[in-house]
Structure 1
């Protein structure tokens, strides 16, 4: 894998599964997309590992959905892709929350997983 198109494809594959699980409000399924030792930073204190990811998404309101746009990708190694994204989280009862997301996805023997996830608000 040597091109931006390939690294973007890898990122899109992982993020499509992430979005589907977030939109369906399935915290355990979201967490299963992360490595066992993933560093996760949403808009609350960070956690390490899948349980922290599951807890974070379980605390989000039903009806929350995510729409993302990939801004940049970098192939850091054969098994590691960096992504920088714009994400809009929409809710049923409040305004959309727009954030930026930096993520690292890492290849394991059975597929690609998120190993680092950090959200920031730029307002």
Structure 2
């Protein structure tokens, strides 16, 4: 497997679990995909750790879903992959929000976790 494919597989392993939990509106399950000291920046003030992440996703409306595309990956260390993504958050009652997302994923093969999550909205 080449490095790009390997990096994408590592990212998808975590991001598919994250997306399934977001789509199911299960905030604690979303937060379980992050390290205990993860830095999280959504579209509200940043937080550190799973409790704040769970609170953020609990505040999201029911029916919100996420769809992502991996745009770029980089292996920063043996156990650290950077992912740069395009993500569409869809809602039942309002327009889709499209964002760019950078994540740092670490701690595999024990089921990778997101240690840094940074959303940017360009429009």
1:22 has 2:22 as partner = yes
Cα distance in 1, alignment partners of residues 97 and 2 from structure 2: 34
Cα pair 2:14 2:111 within 8 Å, conserved: no
Q: Which residue of 2 aligns with 1:97?
A: 97
Output the TM-score relative to the length of structure 1: 0.97
Aligned residue number for residue 65 of structure 2: 65
Aligned match of 1:13 = 13
Is the partner of 1:69 in helix, strand or coil?
Answer: strand
Structure 2: stretches of 5+ with no match in the other structure: none
Give 1:62 shift: 0.3
Give the 3-state SS of the residue equivalent to 2:54 in structure 1: helix
For residues 51-81 of structure 1, give each alpha carbon's deviation from its aligned partner in whole angstroms, at most 9, with x where no partner exists. Answer: 0100000000000000000000001111000
Q: Is the 8 A contact 1:2 1:75 kept in 2?
A: no
Deviation at 1:107, TM superposition (A): 1.2
1:85 alignment counterpart: 85
**Count of matched residue positions in the alignment of Structure 1 and Structure 2:** 123
Provide the residue aligned with 2:76 in structure 1.
76
Q: So what's the TM-score if we normalise by structure 2?
A: 0.97
Any gaps of 5 or more consecutive residues in structure 1?
A: none
Q: Which residue of structure 2 aligns with residue 54 of structure 1? A: 54
Moved over 6 A (4+): none
How far apart, CA to CA, are the structure 2 residues paired with 1:66 and 1:19?
Answer: 6
